[in-house]
């Protein structure tokens, strides 16, 4: 019997886990009617609530469930990649524990996989989030289309069912790569399922603004050389303008057309150019940090216990 592996990163999800497990049991029953077995992998990403106790209750009810407990919080992307190391199924997906992405989508994706699709994604067409969150989401995907992948889904996606052919690429990816974007970048033509992202009803989202900024930088600098080429182009343009201005000043000086030098002009030029240099060095530093992070052999996650 073919097997579907579901990886569930858990971080402060004690309230939603019992409901999620009940829904997954229903999914498992329906998968069996499709002649598919279910492999369930929970990754406790350093939760500080009673999530581990809830996971142990799930394990007691369903002994074949796998629980990987990490030593601390490493982030949802790293927790998901950790879970991929334990996948033995013929296809696999990652499911958020907060119930905002309907588990029923797994059945639709499984049907498409059985029909021959190696890569099926669930694209969001709407989301019940605060206006500020929606604004930054729109801005993020605009940058992503312009700088990284122009054909990436406009609403983004988190859920995707991937054939085991994609698994080695996901497992062996570098530390700072955003896995949904990597899966799309691999080039397998995706089947698309559209859905409405539900409002979060249990617990508080730990997807903070600082984590979103980090993910944004990982996406922009981890998949695209465009930012560094852009600052090179800006640098060349500013250098050309500065050189032209310098030639103009020299010519005006030779013909005696310059009065007392302007302090404001000098200050404006110095501050503008120094600010530009600092920005450029910052972007270059981000690239250098990612190189250093890959070669220093630091583990991506640390597993405390496998149950």
Three-state SS string over the chain comes to CEEEEEEEEECCCCCCHHHHHHHHHHHHHHHHHCCEEEEEEEEECCCCCCHHHHHHHHHHHCCCCEEEEECCCCCHHHHHHHHHCCCCCCEEEECCCCCCCCCCHHHHHHHHHHCCCCEEEEEEEEECCCHHHHHHHHHHHHHHHHHCCCCCCCCCEEEEEEEHHHHHHHHCCCCCCCHHHHHHHCCCCCEEEEEEECCCCCCCCCCCHHHHHHHHHHHHHHHCCHHHHHHHHHHHHHHHHHHHHHHHHHHHHHCCCCCCCCHHHHHHHHHHHHHHHHHHHHHHHHHHHHHHHHHCCCCCCCEEEEC
Strand order in the sheet with 191-197: 191-197, 119-127, 157-163, 91-94, 2-10, 36-44, 66-70, 303-306
Residue 125 lies in a domain: yes
Residue 216 lies in a domain: no
- Is 110 in contact with 161 (CB distance < 8 Å)? yes
Residue 17 lies in a domain: yes
Q: Within this chain, do residues 168 and 266 fall inside the same structural domain, yes or no?
A: no
Q: Within this chain, do residues 88 and 236 fall inside the same structural domain, yes or no?
A: no
Q: Within this chain, do residues 200 and 230 fall inside the same structural domain, yes or no?
A: no
Tokens at residue 148, please?
């990284």
pLDDT profile of the chain (307 residues), mean per 10: 94 90 95 95 92 94 95 89 94 90 92 94 75 74 77 81 94 79 88 76 57 67 67 70 68 64 62 73 75 74 90
Residue 221 lies in a domain: no
Q: Within this chain, do residues 176 and 240 fall inside the same structural domain, yes or no?
A: no
Tokens at residue 48, please?
């500080």
Domain containing residue 29: CATH number: 3.90.550.10
Q: What is residue 66's predicted lDDT score, i.e. its pLDDT? A: 96
Residue 149 lies in a domain: yes
Q: What is residue 145's predicted lDDT score, i.e. its pLDDT? A: 77
Q: What is residue 77's predicted lDDT score, i.e. its pLDDT? A: 86
Which residue reads 């005006």 in tokens? 252
Q: What is the distance between the terminal CA atoms of the chain, rounded to a whole angstrom?
A: 24
Sign of CA dihedral 250, 255, 261, 266: negative
Residue 90 lies in a domain: yes
CA–CA separation, 29 and 36 (whole Å): 9
The residue range of the domain holding 233 is 226-295
Q: From the CB of residue 288, how many other CB atoms can be counted at a distance below 10 Å?
A: 11
Structural domains counted in the chain: 2
Q: Within this chain, do residues 59 and 134 fall inside the same structural domain, yes or no?
A: yes
Q: Within this chain, do residues 204 and 252 fall inside the same structural domain, yes or no?
A: no
Q: What is residue 211's predicted lDDT score, i.e. its pLDDT? A: 62
Q: Within this chain, do residues 262 and 147 fall inside the same structural domain, yes or no?
A: no
CA–CA separation, 246 and 182 (whole Å): 46
Residue 215 lies in a domain: no
Which residue reads 């142990």 in tokens? 56
Q: Within this chain, do residues 64 and 111 fall inside the same structural domain, yes or no?
A: yes
CA–CA separation, 5 and 89 (whole Å): 5
Q: Within this chain, do residues 137 and 244 fall inside the same structural domain, yes or no?
A: no
What is the per-residue burial (b if ≥16 Cβ within 10 Å, else e) of 30-51? ebeeeebebbbbbbbbbbeeeb
Q: Helix crossing, 226-254 with 263-295: angle to 10°? A: 160
Residue 214 lies in a domain: no
Q: Within this chain, do residues 145 and 6 fall inside the same structural domain, yes or no?
A: yes
Q: Within this chain, do residues 179 and 283 fall inside the same structural domain, yes or no?
A: no
Q: What is residue 35's predicted lDDT score, i.e. its pLDDT? A: 94
Q: Within this chain, do residues 136 and 276 fall inside the same structural domain, yes or no?
A: no
């Amino acid at each position: 019997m073919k097997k579907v592996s579901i990886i569930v990163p858990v971080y402060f999800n004690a309230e939603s886990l019992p409901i999620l497990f009940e829904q997954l049991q229903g999914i498992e029953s329906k998968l069996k009617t499709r002649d598919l077995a279910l492999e369930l992998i929970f990754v406790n990403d350093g939760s500080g609530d009673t999530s581990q106790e809830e996971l142990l209750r799930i394990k007691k009810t369903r002994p074949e469930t796998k629980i990987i407990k990490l030593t601390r919080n490493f982030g949802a992307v790293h927790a998901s990649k950790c879970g991929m190391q334990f996948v033995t199924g013929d296809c696999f997906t990652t499911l958020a524990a907060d119930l905002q992405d309907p588990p029923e989508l797994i059945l639709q994706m499984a049907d498409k996989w059985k029909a021959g699709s190696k890569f099926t994604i669930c694209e969001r067409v709407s989301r019940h989030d605060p206006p500020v969150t929606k604004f930054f989401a729109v801005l993020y995907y605009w940058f992503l289309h312009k700088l990284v992948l122009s054909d990436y889904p406009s609403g983004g996606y988190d859920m995707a069912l991937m054939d085991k052919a994609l698994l080695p690429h996901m497992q062996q990816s570098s530390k700072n790569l955003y896995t949904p974007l990597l899966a799309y970048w691999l080039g397998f033509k995706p089947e698309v399922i559209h859905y409405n992202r539900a409002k979060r009803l249990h617990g508080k989202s730990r997807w903070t603004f600082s984590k979103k900024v980090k993910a944004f930088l990982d996406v922009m600098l981890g998949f695209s050389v465009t930012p560094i080429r852009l600052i090179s182009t800006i640098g060349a343009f500013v250098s050309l303008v500065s050189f032209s201005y310098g030639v103009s000043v020299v010519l005006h000086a030779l013909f005696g057309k310059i009065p007392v030098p302007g302090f404001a002009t000098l200050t404006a030029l110095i501050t503008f150019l120094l600010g530009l240099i600092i920005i450029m060095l910052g972007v270059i530093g981000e690239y250098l940090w990612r190189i250093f992070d890959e070669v220093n052999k630091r583990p991506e996650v640390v597993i405390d216990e496998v149950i």
